Structure 1
């Protein structure tokens, strides 16, 4: 590990850490679209989640039988397990794009598509049934969530829900308690290099802080404790005027590459001061804004300055990794932004917490959130509870310490857009506490 030379008399040694890459399940080994159907993801999701919920049923409602939708009998209480479908009046339809071209009146595009008349339907392989009662709120749930329901069929053919069972937080690997010193993972997102809102000086201040060239001795000492940097999405932004559907001229192609080139230069500066000659321990993770789960590791040729070094890694979106046996899981924010369109909550952290309790990173994929049509699995199921769960590109910073029924302890973090706020988030591996580091170029 290279040292950070501050002056001729003082040398600050950067701390060491162990790193493990855990993104294999999100990677597409052999990309193919012909003949593949999105139904396979739902089948895989229902199969695994139903097996789990069935195992909870004897403890939850030991006196009730478990039925399929097709086996429901009027007035007979039972438990059914299936995938929720949310019928929404305001949900955008592909035909709206056609009508927009034909109509003089512009279509309204609300931020949230909720309506008081929305209702929920539960379906399994045998059939589907409309849900009634107040125990299951359409405002909270979205299409794609697998739940167990206690209730009975009414004379109107609805299933009146009396109680709901979610999967809850998954099991968590034991958090190491022998970490005696402070080490930090730095989380940031929304650099938006190439956009009008991007501030190169602000990003340079961040780089100077990480590399130990900014602040007094105390600040430099804190910088030496940063062992891992995650850039969680929207790192670059391209001029919209270039995307006209036509082939790009050579001049436009050069303009298109400029934001990536600038990002590579910045990352290379950090790379020089977070180095190591063995296996990757201090890694720069870069999630550039692309559709959810289509964001496979970006080709290393895009980063000629940074990619040759083992301290740089381009990863998938979502992204999972261990640092000193502390499990991190995160996305660049599209899964939470999509939940906000089709359900309601008091804060973004409520959406983040729901995905953990549903044990699914993106329940709305592939219904309203684009993803690759996996045929053999649903990679977004959360089988192991992380210690830190982060989402990028949010409007403001927020965090919460979530405690599970089996002793799980999870730090939930909303990372704000750096280009708008100048804020990065530092997470302490020793105790999961976090704080913000703010960079401003404004003169008071």
Structure 2
């Protein structure tokens, strides 16, 4: 029964049609556009960790790509003008979209995996090609026309091979691009993969159309198909398809925006946790030298609460003898010393709320946000270290005074040949003359 479709028969009259190349170009554009959108959805699905969202994106992408395959076929059929009226069975035409969506699901599901082998690409290409072929030939079966529809077996098989091979190439390109972190190359690679997938869809369709043989029954009179109706219907199909894909794109952009927002919130929380738990005082200043943020540690170091500092000028904390450096010119980036200070760490003094000058280790960072300068100051309390240094100096002074006043000579040397001296008291000059 199936082989009857490949039996043209001897001495029959075959109808030949011609194409509206504008609609052919439109059908190819729809196929490539649908593939491009679907591949971008697959990329987003592979990056999400939420299982429900991943499958939602895969479903949306499959509908977009499957709808694109179906629309490409329908536009291609409308682009083909045969000298006889052609109608389409609505039920079969609608159901023919199912294998296209299934093929799209296989392709996108495969692309979300972290690693795929050549064998997986092979069977993925076979399944995608088979899905496209099933969609095409079931769509052809929906044609209601007087001539008998038959196929050339060689071209029929070739159409499937074209779909499988190009689908494999497209999947391989897209998967390879997914591993590349270079954004410009990523876009170019996705576009190339989309073009190849579009060619797989269109190549299968138009090779399948080349395989079609329209056998004219005896006594049938030819008539002209209305080209204006075909163009109107084709544009309607294209608009509906592009709208559907745009809705899918809107859904993916919504998910992406939500992901970006959640990542920004998470990053802000991490940064806030870091600054809130830091033992050093951290201040951010704008290009006018006004405090924008302050962490809780500023209170223990400077005596001000964060709320008391925010919005006030940084000169409040700068000693009088240093205000000529950290002035308006510095924060406006007009003074030379800025290049010597940014990114370095040095000891300085800041003014406590009580008026006391506090020794600190200061590090100043610099960045730009919305083309406006932002300075970040890190202040480490050096009071305890200074107290320890003073205590050590006092201890050393006492020790030296003790050594200087004991009778005889006190010395320290290494236990090795020559007994090299490390220390010897001043009394050596009084006793030895040296």
Question: Which interval holds the TM-score relative to the shorter structure?
Answer: under 0.3
Q: TM-score, normalised by structure 1?
A: 0.21
| Structure with the higher strand share, 1 or 2 | 1
Q: Larger relative contact order (C-alpha < 8 A, sep ≥ 6)? A: 1
Q: Which protein shows a greater Rg?
A: 2
More helix by share: 2
